[in-house]
Amino acid sequence: MNKLVNPNKQSWLELTQRPVADISELKNIVNQIFEEIKKDGDEAVKKYNRIYDKVELDSLAVNEEEITNASKKVSEELKGAIQLAKSNIEKFHASQRESLKIVETVKGVSCWRESRAIEKVGIYIPGGTAPLFSTVLMLGVPAKLAGCKEVILCTPPNKNGEINHVILYAADLVGITSVFRVGGIQAIGAMTFGTKSIPKVDKIFGPGNQYVTAAKQEAQNIGVAIDLPAGPSELLIIADKTCSPSFVAADLLSQAEHGKDSQVVLLSDDDNVIDQVLLEFEQQLKSLPRKEIAQQALENSKAIVLPNLKECIDFSNLYAPEHLILAGNNFKPLIPEITNAGSVFIGNYSCESAGDYASGTNHTLPTNGYARNYSGVSLDSFVKKITFQELTKEGIQNIGPSIELMAEAEQLFAHKNAVTLRLKSF
């Protein structure tokens, strides 16, 4: 982890840059696989399952018996933890429902907005060394609360064609409609175009590696919506002298272990705090099962000393982190100054892991600086907002003349006539 002391502000923008991967080859791979899936459907999906996951499948769909058997393999203790997390996620996301508000803009003109669920959504859940069953909760719970009619899930199988049993348990718990054993680019392609087995969806959600991310971007170009731009995980921590260095080190490592392309950043107004955290860091790293992954992530990571906490907040806003931890007891006065962050964790006991699993907030968040202009996934991500208006005779009389003038000024005389005919009918 590279340490810098009081870098000048002219260098800040460069310091906020994430590692950039060359995706030109990725795009070619995505386009090739997409074209084959569009043409050959399930057969193309199975072909790329053989190539990438080394598995030969008769059926892409997971059946009820497999889901029932998977549930039996999950310990009661873990089931209880998952159910607690689901309950908290439901409470937080249910609170985001909007009540109907009818606004009379002038006498006789009423306007309002109503939510309608996106009918078909697809959820992608990575498998491999870290099967993210928690993401099943984060995406499945708000999808069901929103009222999505069809919620399908794609996740890669192991070499025996099996899906992680905890992923299947979580999918069943939240009410996922169908589960398919397919991962990577081919999963995104199948949900984009639809195949005989896998339905075409209206919007795709979920994290993934660079291949999945590139595939989601291409799906969006084709006309299927995606949740948000997302790349490698990232965490920025601002720590002052009231922090616990061991807690801070643990939080940094919790994010670094996601993947070698993850990035963590530590800011402080106290040089001694940085040194204490880095010492803790080295000690804790030794005992991590995923220490090699974390170590690679740390090569792209930074520890920066800045003159004061206000400048730390300014740097963080420029960086726009996916996760922001304010480690210490003195941050509440500075909270209004935070303008760019996916999710914020306040105080020494608010570890980022809480948001990843069970506090109730959503862990599907914008990365790579997109927190400047994107929000994390919420109930709103699964609905469309439709506006309504109703004009009475009095209403069209009140605003009709203004509409006529504006339409004529834009030389749109059919627009004007639609009003004029109504006004003359009285």
Same domain, residue pair 42 and 65: yes
> Is 5 within the bounds of a domain?
no
Note the pLDDT of residue 258. 83
Could you read off the pLDDT of 180-227 as tens digits, one per residue?
A: 999 999 999 999 999 999 999 999 999 888 889 999 999 999 999 999
Note the pLDDT of residue 21. 66
| Residue 130 predicted with pLDDT over 80 | no
Could you read off the pLDDT of 328-349 as tens digits, one per residue?
A: 998 999 999 999 999 999 999 9
For the domain that residue 358 is a member of, what is the CATH number? 3.40.50.1980
Same domain, residue pair 124 and 177: yes
Note the pLDDT of residue 129. 67
Same domain, residue pair 172 and 70: yes
Same domain, residue pair 297 and 328: yes
Among the candidates 226, 255, 284, a domain finishes at 226
> Is 351 within the bounds of a domain?
yes
Same domain, residue pair 400 and 362: no
Same domain, residue pair 236 and 294: yes
Note the pLDDT of residue 128. 67
> Is 324 within the bounds of a domain?
yes
Beta pairing, strands 120-124 & 150-155: parallel
Same domain, residue pair 170 and 271: no
Could you read off the pLDDT of 277-307 as tens digits, one per residue?
A: 999 988 998 889 888 888 888 888 999 999 9
> How many domains is the chain partitioned into structurally?
3
- Give the other-Cβ count within 10 Å of 308's Cβ: 10
Mean pLDDT computed over 65-78:
95
Note the pLDDT of residue 152. 98
> Is 3 within the bounds of a domain?
no
Mean pLDDT computed over 158-181:
96
- Return the active site residues: 322-323
Residue 367 CA neighbour count, 13 Å, CB half:
22
State what percent of residues in the chain have pLDDT above 70: 99
Same domain, residue pair 247 and 367: yes
> Is 200 within the bounds of a domain?
yes
**What integer best gives the mean pLDDT of the chain?**
95
Note the pLDDT of residue 367. 92
Note the pLDDT of residue 260. 81
What is the band of 50 on the pLDDT scale with cuts at 50, 70, 90? very high
| Residue 23 predicted with pLDDT over 80 | no
Same domain, residue pair 194 and 275: no
| Residue 179 predicted with pLDDT over 80 | yes
Q: Which of 59-68, 212-221, 225-234 has the lowest mean pLDDT?
A: 225-234
Structural domain of residue 63, as residue ranges? 24-226
Could you read off the pLDDT of 389-422 as tens digits, one per residue?
A: 999 999 999 999 999 999 999 999 999 999 999 9
> Is 382 within the bounds of a domain?
no
In angstroms, the CA 394 to CA 26 distance is 59
Same domain, residue pair 127 and 197: yes
| Residue 248 predicted with pLDDT over 80 | yes
| Residue 79 predicted with pLDDT over 70 | yes
Same domain, residue pair 73 and 183: yes
The residues pairing with 313 across neighbouring beta strands, listed in sequence order, are: none
> Is 133 within the bounds of a domain?
yes
Same domain, residue pair 182 and 331: no
> Is 1 within the bounds of a domain?
no
State what percent of residues in the chain have pLDDT above 90: 86
